[in-house]
Structure 1
């Protein structure tokens, strides 16, 4: 397995929709075209021309970066690709001068983010802005 990782590679909305669906998510066409303009950058993982992983970094323009939408194609999971995407995103945020990298996740992902990726637990707040 030879995975190539890229920082800010040219990705199409269609590629992100396909990856999101292959990851088990619900994709909204047009999402990437809107989101990328707000990103510090993104890391992508490729097997040849196939996009197999992705992680987006939003930021406040200064000290805080936010890890968003990390995903690995279902056929490629549990091979270290997700961990490498997060590591590269972390390094890119640090290189951009950010002091903090934030991430939100579902409880079943705690071992991944706290164990494999090195995040620490912290107090945080959340307000749901839409009806569930």
Structure 2
């Protein structure tokens, strides 16, 4: 089985909603991901295995030098196989190629090892307001 990664890869909203439901453990939504990423994102990376969407990461940006990793998700059956790390690496390469100097990420504490150890992010001071 071959896994392919595509910057700004084509995807179907239903497939991405299904992947999100699987990855985040909630019922499938009816989010119009295509409209969302085309309006707000520098790009995104799709991971496919034998044509099936098994991973996704969104890269939002400020229109300048800051990009932001959002919505990193990998199908449950492919977790711990390097798919997430490869998604983030592709996202970082594409953001760098687009002229971004910084790639930011926020995450829940249980993902600390993934983002710091596997993906190479480093800890910084940041602030957050819950809205």
CA deviation profile, 1:102-128 (whole Å, cap 9, x unmatched):
000000111110000000000100001
Contact 2:66 2:102 in 1 (8 A): yes
Deviates more, 1:24-33 or 1:112-121: 24-33
Q: Which runs of 4+ in 1 moved over 6 A?
A: none
Per-residue displacement from partner, 1:14-60 (whole Å, max 9, x unpaired)? 11111011113434312413421211000010012210000000000
Match of 1:61 in 2: 63
SS of 1:42's partner is strand
Measure, in 2, the Cα distance between the counterparts of 1:93 and 1:31. Answer: 23
- Give secondary structure in 1 for the equivalent of 2:84: helix
1:11 aligns with 11
Aligned-residue CA RMSD in angstroms? Answer: 1.2
- Tell me the TM-score normalised to structure 2 length: 0.93
Report how many aligned residue pairs link the two structures. Answer: 129
The answer to whether the aligner puts 1:113 opposite 2:112 as a matched pair is no
Aligned counterparts of 2:16 and 2:83: Cα–Cα separation in 1 = 16
Contact in 2 for aligned 1:24/1:74 (Cα 8 Å): no
When normalised by structure 1's length, the TM-score is 0.93
Unaligned runs of 5+ in 2: none
